[in-house]
């Protein structure tokens, strides 16, 4: 932090996998009280070692941590936001889809295409720019509409 200029912007890269943080408040709060030496016990207790849940929890924690720290460096006018992309066509995407199984397949059918890194980069650039000066603790989701689809489905509106 000392190396950042006053007025800097921090953008944390999460994932739309972190959008379910509201449903996992108890686990997030519990993890927040764990010190480094307790991480292994936490993982064992919640049976998340190597599971899709470990990825989802890590992204939920990034989203929540971003919101919690939106004003931590307010005295230096340093702001913090997050970007939570949907599926982006990268070398790890096939492995990720396989890990999620049927759950991912259903969601992917509703996209017109996979995202590209070029779909996310301008969002990050915007949050780093002076034009985003009033954004603090925001989580922008370039996801091709997948988040809207899942939310509507979840609440019986689509």
Q: Domain for residue 4, yes or no? A: no
Under the banding of pLDDT at 50, 70 and 90, the label for residue 50 is confident
Q: Domain for residue 144, yes or no? A: yes
Q: Domain for residue 103, yes or no? A: yes
Q: Residue 79: which of 126, 36, 147, 27 has the closest Cα? A: 126
d(CA 17, CA 144): 14
Total structural domains in the chain? 1
Mean pLDDT of the chain: 93
Active site residue 155: no
| CATH code of the domain covering residue 109 | 3.40.50.720
Q: Domain for residue 116, yes or no? A: yes
Which residue is catalytic, options 20, 53, 54, 55?
Answer: 55
Structural domain that includes position 96: 9-154
Strands (E), 26-95: 79-83
Q: Domain for residue 1, yes or no? A: no
Contact 30, 78 (CB under 8 A): no
| Per-residue pLDDT tens digits for 101-113 | 777 777 788 889 9
Does the pTM of the predicted model rise above 0.85?
yes
Bigger pLDDT: 96 vs 76 = 76
């Amino acid at each position: 932090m000392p190396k950042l200029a006053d007025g800097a912007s921090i953008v944390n890269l999460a994932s739309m996998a972190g959008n379910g943080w509201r449903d996992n408040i108890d686990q997030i709060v519990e993890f927040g009280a764990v010190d480094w030496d307790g991480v292994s016990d936490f993982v064992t207790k919640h049976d998340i070692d190597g599971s899709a849940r470990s990825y989802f929890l890590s992204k939920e924690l990034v989203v929540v941590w971003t919101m919690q720290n939106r004003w931590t460096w307010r005295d230096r006018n340093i702001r913090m936001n997050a970007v939570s992309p949907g599926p982006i066509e990268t070398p790890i995407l096939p492995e990720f889809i396989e890990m999620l199984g049927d759950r991912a397949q259903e969601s992917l059918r509703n996209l017109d295409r996979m995202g590209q890194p070029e779909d996310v980069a301008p969002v990050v650039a915007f949050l780093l720019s002076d034009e985003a000066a009033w954004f603090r603790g925001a989580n922008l989701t370039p996801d091709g509409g997948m988040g809207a689809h899942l939310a509507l489905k979840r609440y019986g509106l689509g």
